[in-house]
Amino acid sequence: MAEVKPEEISHPPMEQLQGFEYCIDSNPPWGEAIILGFQHYILALGTAVMIPAVLVPMMGGSDGDRVRVVQTLLFVTGINTLLQSLFGTRLPTVIGGSYAFVVPIMAIIQDSRLAAIPDDHERFLQTMRAIQGALIVSSSIQIILGYSQLWGIFSRFFSPLGMAPVVALLGFGLFERGFPVVGRCVEVGLPMLILFVVLSQYLKNVQIKDIPILERFSLFICIALVWAYAQILTAGGAYKHSPEITQINCRTDRANLISSAPWIKIPFPLQWGAPTFSAGQSFGMVSAVLVSLVESTASYKAAARLASATPPPAHILSRGIGWQGIGILLDGLFGTGTGSTVSVENVGLLGSTRIGSRRVIQISAGFMIFFSMLGKFGALFASIPFTIFAAVYCVLFGLVAAVGLSFLQFTNMNSMRNLFIVGVSIFLGLSVPEYFFRYSMAAQRGPAHTKAGWFNDYINTIFSSPPTVGLIVAVFLDNTLEVKNAAKDRGMPWWVPFRSFKGDARSEEFYSLPFNLNRFFPPS
């Protein structure tokens, strides 16, 4: 038997992923780009509908209030996505609602002063104004950390070894929104999961006029087919005698969005009234802003890889965080009911379609703004059962997690030091938030339960986020454990050139501002 050569059993590290026909600064034909943009819009609906569906009823809001919050969240998501893709990191990322803000928002909802208001609608308005005030104040943290370049300076402690667990946990940490939700209506969720995998992977080479139509548009096709199938089950009375929870998760007519939505309604700033401000609530909201910052940083690293771009330099990363802070400020002004972060599922869709084009994301932002103003039409798409989205998440979140693990190719994984750091940070990044989640479900409060509400929000929010826990553990260990001669093992020779804008010639191609604005805001 012939001797196997080393190059035959290993693969050389590659800075950019292969097989992407359109990368960050190349554009598909307009027809394809519009359909791809519509796919990203449909995918963003999952989070845009789910967060208000959970929070608005607890605030005392009606179905009409919930529809207006969904419209407002989609409208601001479109604006923030355009701003980020034009003037922020310029990566193809959707900036949507964030679950990281749920803990401090729940604390505001449960505030005794607000809970004592007898009229439900008045309680909803007062609670929304309090949330707006906390978001407006806390947004200053990201604005300051971004535009002062402080976050870029801190990012110098990052390495491929330290960031691999953080990006991986961005996907792995969302497992609760995957199959556990699919299982609530398995007759709809499981066909969606199987069909999406078959069309996007096994039949991806099926082409029509040289276009791999099933690979690029599988999400749109699958949602249309399974949504129609779910509609047939609903109309046929399949759930007529089912428990209430099954009907909520399976039926297509239980959202009450279409009947409650106005035909035309344009969201505007301060539409719920003047925000109210509380120091304690604002301090508590800062914890969610910090978690959003960490999660978005990991998302930008993943998006850059899936858009066939180089890692964003420190200056670009800070610029993106600054614009994201402005996005949270807009959330507060418009009253979206939550803050903003990068949509992980839309990052995963870049890899599933193998299209990392910036223009596609900008088109999706246009759809978000357009359909948020046309209430009835937007509500039609927003009535898709969340189980269908959860099935897609099983694939897309896993894809993002795998992108994080791909950073390990630049490190020495035969080093016990590196194995220790990766293993411990991923395990704790999953285990610690799971403890906080289970404790909260059992006790109806987080493990931190002192008289200082803002401190409770800090601890319960930060340690409920897998990427944040992973960042704390991985970056600390990577910069304190046997660092002296570990630069090569950590992957620093590959990583260091991308720290500065001028360190790699491709940075100007990927990250320069449009309209020749770099003349006025030169990157460092």
Each residue's pLDDT tens digit, 177-215 = 999 999 999 999 999 999 999 999 999 988 888 889 999
Total-model pTM: 0.94
In a domain, 81, yes or no: yes
Residue among 389, 484, 420 at smallest CA distance from 181: 389
Q: Is 52 inside a domain boundary? A: yes
Q: How far is CA 421 from CA 58, 135, 398, 407, 468, in A?
A: 41, 35, 21, 14, 15
Whether residue 437 is contained in a domain is answered as no
CA dihedral 214, 219, 225, 229 (to 10 degrees): 150
Q: Say if 193 falls within a structural domain.
A: yes
Range of the domain at 131: 30-409
* 66 within some domain: yes
Could you tell me if residue 464 is inside a domain?
Answer: no
Determine, yes or no, domain membership for 518: no
Count of domains in the chain?
A: 1
**Rounded distance, CA 480 to CA 498, Å?**
22
**pLDDT for res 134:** 96
Contact between residue 303 and residue 40 where contact means Cβ atoms under 8 Å apart: no
The alpha carbons of the chain give a radius of gyration, in whole angstroms, of 23
Helices marked H in 251-310: 279-306
Q: Is the pLDDT at 509 greater than 90, yes or no?
A: no
Residue 487 falls inside a structural domain = no
pLDDT digits (tens, 9 = 90+) for 416-462: 999 999 999 999 999 999 999 999 888 888 898 888 888 888 899 99
Residue 382 has pLDDT above 80, yes or no: no
Q: Read off the pLDDT band of 8 (50, 70, 90).
A: low
Q: Can you give the pLDDT at residue 17?
A: 80
